Structure formats: structure tokens, C-alpha cells
Amino acid sequence: MNTTQALLEVRDLTVDYDLGGAAAWRRRTTTVLQGVGFTIAPGETYGLVGESGSGKSTTGRAVLRLADVTGGSIRFDGTDLATFGRETPLSYRRDVQAVFQDPAASLNPRHRVGRAVTDALRRHGVRGQRVREERAAEAFEQVGLQRAHLDRYPAEMSGGQLQRVAIARALVLRPRLVVCDEAVSALDLSTQSQIINLLADLQAQTGVSYLFIAHDLGVVRHISDRIGVLRRGVLVEEGTTHEIFTAPRHPYTRALLAASPASQPAGREERRARRLAVRAAAA
């Protein structure tokens, strides 16, 4: 358990999915998550890994309040999300953002990509179109895009550029936590490295926390401070990145490691040092 005050605290999380049925008494359910628990500190990246169907994305959806929780609790900055009731406060939507696998799926092909960012600002109460446009331009520059990209349509941009748009849309609201759900899995290896480096650098600059969800331990290794391993809805192992890669305890973790590339991108330790400095300054 991390001794730093948790920004996100997940305790004994259980999620059941309704498989349906002709009548209420015949309805069937399946348990997707069972007793999952972990914490994320301010400025920390928690990697969550497991094969397809292990419950990774369901965990992220529960944190985002896109999946109903059957049991356990999720607390953000000390507040139990269950107290929100059916409606999620706009403040939580702002503080907890998401970057998904396919950014194009969340962009209107008929709209210029800059509108996705300015619309997010408008929904969260930022007044004045010129103010919103300037904030959007600053966010684009922050993620390595040019102001000219604001006027492009999704079809005119590469997959890596579209993922940068998605990151800009998330970070323009200055969130405290970003759920990255398979955010680089659809990208080629070179672009994966660029996006991971970008996320790490943005974390060093802003102190944002990440729940980084992926099926590849090799990808998670490059950015995570700690890692949790999910298997069939159960968290079978958790530890620091160093512990998971040097002394894995569970056979499933060892199997994932055997199937994962072992190389590390250059500069990982330097990025980690910057993240620790940001975290210390915020303490």
C-alpha cells in the first residue's frame, strides 16, 4: 500500500454484468471484477495489465462511472463515488478524464479537430469563444501539435496525431487523473514510444496521475511507478515496476513477462526523476 495520501482509492471492487434473460427471475449475471483494490497517489502512474477479458477496461469504466459497481467502493480525493447517486457531478468529469484506444471514434469526422477541444471547454463553463480557442491552441502546442492542426479534419491526420488530439482534449481541462485505456495499443512501435514519452513529460510538467491500462507489460513498464496484474477479474499481483520485472511472484505475471519485450526507452529514469520532483513539490 502506498503511504502517500491516495488520490484514487479502489477497495474490494466487484462488477457484475447482466447477461439478460426473458424474465427477471431468469436473468443471469457474470462477475467481471471480484475484490479488486489499489491506490493511486498524486502524480503517480499505476499500470493495470492483463489479457483480453481480464477486467482491465471494466476497472477503468468503473472509475469513470461508465460501469455500475456491484460491490466495494471507489474514492476520489476522499469522496466515495457512490455518494454522487445517478448523476455524476461536472467537477468529477473535469477532474477525471480519459484517453481511449481509438481517438477517431470519439471525433466527429465532419468537424475540425479543434472543435473537440473547444467544445470540452464550453461544456465545463469556460466562457468566450476566443478564450476557448486560445486554450485549445495552447493545449495542442503542449502535446506537440501546431496551431494549424486545429483546423484539420480527423481524416487528414495520422493515428499518432489523433491520439495527441485526444490527450490535448483531456488535459485542457487540467484534470487530476487521466484513465488511459489501451491508449497506445493501436499505434506502431515508434508512435507508441512517442506517445508514452509525451504522457510522461506532461506528467512531469503538470503532476497529473494516470491509470494506465494495457495488455502488454512491456508497454506499461515504460511509464508506470507501480503495476497491478489482473487475471479473470482478480488482482493476482501488485508491486513496484522494479519488483514486478525483477521478482514476479505469480505464474501468470511470469507468463505475461515471457511474452513481453524487455527493452526500455532511453530517458525513462530521467523522466521518473522529474515526476518524483513534481510529486515532492506538491506534497
Query: 62-91 pLDDT, tens per residue?
Result: 999 999 999 999 999 999 999 998 899 999
Which residues of the chain carry a pLDDT beneath 70? 1-4, 20-27, 261-283
Beta pairing partners, 197? none
The C-alpha torsion from 44 through 160 and 147 to 92, rounded to 10°, is -40
DSSP H stretches of helix in the chain: 56-63, 90-95, 113-123, 129-142, 159-171, 189-206, 217-221, 241-246, 251-258, 268-282
Provide the pLDDT for residue 148.
95
Q: Where are the domains of the chain?
A: 8-282
Residue type (1 letter), 10: V
Nearest to 36 by CA among 241, 229, 248: 229
Provide the pLDDT for residue 22.
54
Give the end-to-end CA distance of the chain in Å, rounded to a whole number: 18
143 secondary structure, DSSP code: T
Count the neighbouring beta carbons within 10 Å of the beta carbon of residue 280.
9
Q: Is 106 exposed, middle or buried (0-12, 13-18, 19+ CB in 10 A)?
A: middle
CA distance 52 to 46: 19
Q: Angle at which helices 159-171 and 129-142 pack, to 10 degrees?
A: 120
Count the neighbouring beta carbons within 10 Å of the beta carbon of residue 248.
20
155 secondary structure, DSSP code: G
Provide the pLDDT for residue 281.
45
Cell, residue 189: 512501435
CB neighbours of 254 closer than 8 A, spacing ≥ 6?
Answer: 248
Q: Does domain 8-282 have CATH number 3.30.450.20?
A: no
- Based on C-alpha coordinates, what's the Rg of the chain? 19
Contact between 68 and 85 under an 8 Å Cβ cutoff? The reply is no
Provide the pLDDT for residue 1.
41
